[in-house]
């Protein structure tokens, strides 16, 4: 057998860990077609199929799992050995953010940060995977959750609110439902807190939901295309509502049990690039909250439902550092 190129093995390890061709290609700064070519080349060299490709991503074959077990640790060891020689400069900032928040909230605001700090190099990784700050790849992350992750600082950016949204196409030729009629409409994503919505606002859950999705971006796209009504996160849906692609069905809103946080390790406090980004991000988040609060004072503004005690316990505004 011919010698296997190391870059093909690196592509394989990255794709196996990402379980998704698109995410792996983004991490390696390759096109999906180039990455697929590398994987096919590797498969031809070793004579085995490494992945089974399905609608939900990649799944390793038995041979693929064996290869990953044998080679991944060696790439990890190389990266560990090189890390002390590649200490990140203060002008280089690397951040991870959930794809949904990155596209709908962060990226539209980033030009202001770049204009304010033209000498900084900003690297953004859009991923739903858990960030391991121990590997040194990231200075911080934007995450949606309870805010009490172990071993890191978690600083609240803003809370999240939920409300049913639908596309104009779904509403065409139909009267908008009353609160007690919502269960008669095609509803999406049963894993969302629909039971809590119906408990607070009345009506009955449907006997079945139309569809479920593995990520919020796909759910959002299905809603825009008129597949059904989703219980949308206001932060993510607001640009689509303002652009006329979605409609909020009711003035009522329900506070989500989770919120949006800036998460970072203690070492990032000494990183000049991260300190500048943190200060800028907190200002942007404060302006975003102020705009929402100002809109709430308008007579036509939708009614918010107060948080439960459990919610208030999980949504703190201070910086929390796990012991």
Q: With the C-alpha atoms ordered 84, 86, 87, 93, is the resulting torsion angle positive or negative? A: negative
Give the residue from 85, 113, 131 where a domain finishes. 85
In angstroms, the first-to-last Cα distance of the chain is 53
Tens of pLDDT along 276-299? 999 999 999 999 988 877 766 555
The CATH code of the domain that includes 190 is: 3.40.190.290
Per the structure, the complete domain to which residue 78 belongs is given by 6-85
Residues 229 and 118 in one domain: yes
1 within a domain of the structure (yes/no): no
The whole-angstrom separation of Cα 196 and Cα 305 is 12
Whole-model pTM over 0.85: no
38 and 144, same domain (yes or no): no
Same domain, 74 and 218: no
Residues 81 and 182 grouped into a single domain? no
One digit per residue, the tens of pLDDT, for the chain of length 323 reads 567 788 889 899 999 998 888 888 888 878 888 889 999 999 988 888 999 988 778 899 999 999 999 998 888 888 777 655 444 567 889 999 998 899 889 999 999 999 999 888 889 998 888 888 887 889 999 999 999 898 899 999 999 999 999 999 999 989 999 999 999 999 999 999 999 999 999 999 998 999 998 888 889 899 999 999 999 998 888 889 989 999 999 999 999 999 999 999 999 998 989 999 999 999 999 999 888 777 665 554 445 554 443 333 333 333 333 32
Which backbone phi and psi does 119 adopt, to 5 degrees? -90, -5
Examine the domain organization and report whether 41 and 107 are in the same domain: no
Q: How many domains does the chain have?
A: 2
* Cβ-based neighbour number of residue 283 at 10 Å: 11
């Amino acid at each position: 057998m011919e010698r296997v190129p190391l870059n093909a093995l690196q592509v394989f390890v990255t794709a196996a860990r990402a379980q998704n061709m698109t995410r792996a290609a983004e991490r390696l700064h390759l096109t999906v077609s180039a990455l697929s070519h590398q994987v096919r080349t590797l498969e031809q060299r070793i004579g085995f199929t490494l992945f089974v490709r399905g609608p939900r991503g990649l799944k390793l074959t038995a041979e693929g799992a064996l290869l990953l077990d044998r080679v991944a640790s060696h790439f990890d060891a190389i990266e560990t050995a090189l890390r002390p020689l590649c200490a990140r400069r203060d002008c280089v900032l690397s951040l991870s953010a959930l794809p949904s928040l990155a596209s709908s909230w962060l990226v539209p605001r980033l030009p202001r940060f770049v204009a304010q700090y033209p000498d900084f190099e900003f690297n953004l990784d859009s991923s739903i995977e858990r960030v391991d700050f121990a590997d040194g790849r990231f200075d911080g992350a934007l995450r949606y959750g309870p805010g009490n992750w172990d071993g890191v600082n978690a600083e609240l950016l803003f809370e999240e609110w939920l409300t049913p949204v639908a596309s104009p196409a779904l509403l065409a030729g139909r009267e908008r439902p009353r609160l007690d009629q919502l269960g008669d409409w095609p509803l999406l994503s049963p894993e969302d807190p629909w039971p809590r919505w119906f408990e607070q606002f009345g009506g009955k859950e449907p006997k079945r939901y139309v569809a479920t999705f593995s990520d919020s971006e796909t759910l959002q796209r299905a809603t825009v295309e008129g597949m059904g009504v989703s219980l949308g996160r206001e932060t993510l849906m607001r640009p689509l509502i303002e652009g006329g692609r979605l409609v909020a069905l009711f003035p009522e809103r329900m506070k989500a049990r989770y919120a949006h946080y800036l998460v970072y390790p203690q070492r990032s406090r000494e990183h000049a690039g991260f300190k500048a980004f943190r200060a800028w991000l907190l200002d942007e988040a404060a302006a975003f909250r102020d705009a929402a609060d100002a809109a709430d004072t308008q007579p036509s503004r939708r009614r918010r439902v107060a948080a439960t005690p459990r919610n208030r316990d999980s949504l703190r505004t201070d910086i929390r550092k796990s012991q």
